[in-house]
Amino acid sequence: MTGGVTGVFKIPDLRKKILFTLAMVVVYRLGTHIPVPGINAQALGWVLSQLQGTVFGLYDIFVGGALSRASVFALGVMPYISASIVFQLLGSVFPFLEKLQRDEEGRKKLNQYTRYATVGLAIIQAASIAVYLESQPPTEFGPIVLQPGLFFRLMTIFTLTAGTIFVMWLGEQITDRGIGNGISFIILIGCLDSTPQDFARTFQQARISSWLWLLIVAALVFVVYAAVVLMTMAIRKIPVQYPKRIVGRRMYGGQSTHIPLRLITAGVIPIIFAQSLIVFPSTFATFLKLPFLEWLQRYLSPGGWLYNLLYAVLIIFFTYFYTSIVFNPRDLADNMQRYGGFIPGIRPGEKTAAYIDRSLSLLTLPGALFLVVIALMPWLLMSAFRVPFYFGGTTLLIIVGVALDTLQQIEAHLVMRHYEGLVKGGKFLGRRFG
């Protein structure tokens, strides 16, 4: 373990990537404390404190408290995620967009379209926020907007949209020049900002109830942590064999390897996608005083039956949908057949693709159900035990998932350059499942 950690700083390229990522994180954290001009941050913080446990409280977690601080990064990367969802869904409907997803140049063009859509969504959300803040009555700390009017609205739209563009750029820079997926990493930083407070409030409430509840909550947190780590790393190994080939005087092939199918191939993306879709309509429900939208806002509060049902359906849908995007059994089967590889007992080609697809589908269902349980865990526990449980399963899964993906990238760099991995014996990359 020590050798692996020291090896990180012995590789110039890896050291540069890690330091660059940390520098971008510092820039992001500084930006979350830069306020939007013309807003009474203390009054806004008081208003949002009354909305804890709603979609706005969850949104504030994802942006690292930037919303409650009236920061220029208040929208975070959520408009970008919403735009990405739209284009990925459209890609499965329109052949033109599906074709763009297949080659490098097409993906670059699709990313550009996603950026344009991000700016449009950010403008809409920023305008909604400006109108909503102006409509709020004065608080005990004074009015939220110091000088309402057209200038304030334009300034807020410009500032929040520019903040979203900058955060999106930070995420892309981390992906290109740092370690891990930049957008997921920024969400991770936001979740880490609130996690210590969630722990403290949960244990404080449990201690007030009784010491027995405190022990139960501590045990639950430990079990959930262990389950998330194990399920995130769990894989099923499908054996693959390659025949021997003689080229000149040398013999090649004859190897036995495996295809690692992850239990949760989509990672934390389904929860992030589902959360962003739930937050987006609720935003308009708060800003536009229409009867249907007010009904939607009332029943889409976290813990409500409609919220739980819709959240679960969206998580399951995006788990299957995103898995189909990142893992293509047909391409894998074609590559295996091209190099002479085969699964014992399965004919190459169509049969192999069907077998891999069936195996992946059987794994994806329990993985999706696990994501649902983890995401709804706080509300289920509060309903069952009548004890406030502020420690969110969603934030936990994001923290563990993004952290493991980042550590796996570091591990791959170390092993590729013949250094000892972060875990001795190189067993960090996955645990066998089935």
Q: In this structure, are residues 52 and 166 in contact, taking their beta carbons and an 8 Å threshold?
A: no
Is the pLDDT reported for residue 386 higher than 50?
yes
- pTM of the complete model: 0.77
pLDDT of residue 432: 45
Of the candidate ranges 16-25, 48-57, 307-316, the one whose mean pLDDT is the lowest? 48-57
| pLDDT tens column, 97-119 | 777 777 778 888 888 999 999 99
Distance in angstroms (rounded) separating the CA atoms of residues 226 and 260 = 21
Instruction: Give the Cβ contact number of residue 380 at 10 Å.
Output: 15
The two beta strands, 431-432 and 234-241, are parallel
Average pLDDT of the chain to the nearest whole number = 78
Tokens of 219: 């045990």
Distance in angstroms (rounded) separating the CA atoms of residues 407 and 193 = 20
Q: In this structure, are residues 183 and 80 in contact, taking their beta carbons and an 8 Å threshold?
A: yes
pLDDT of residue 434: 46
HSE, CB side, 13 Å, CA atoms: give it for residue 38.
18
Average pLDDT on 340-351 reads 85
Q: Which residues contact 261 (CB under 8 A, 6 or more apart)?
A: 235, 236, 237, 238, 356, 359, 360, 363
Q: Using DSSP, state whether 300 is helix, strand or coil.
A: coil
In what helix (H) or strand (E) does residue 342 lie, and over which residues does it extend? none
Residue 420's pLDDT band (cuts 50, 70, 90): low
pLDDT of residue 147: 84
Q: For tokens 């990493």, what's the residue?
A: 185
pLDDT of residue 384: 65
Q: In this structure, are residues 54 and 267 in contact, taking their beta carbons and an 8 Å threshold?
A: no
Domain 211-434 has CATH 1.10.150.120: no
Is the pLDDT reported for residue 417 higher than 90?
no
Instruction: Give me the amino acid identity at 250.
Output: R
What are the boundaries of each domain within the chain? Answer: 32-178, 211-434
Distance in angstroms (rounded) separating the CA atoms of residues 168 and 183 = 7
Distance in angstroms (rounded) separating the CA atoms of residues 244 and 89 = 43
Of the candidate ranges 22-36, 154-168, 215-229, the one whose mean pLDDT is the lowest? 215-229
Is the pLDDT reported for residue 145 higher than 90?
no
Q: Which residues contact 48 (CB under 8 A, 6 or more apart)?
A: 56, 57, 60, 67, 68
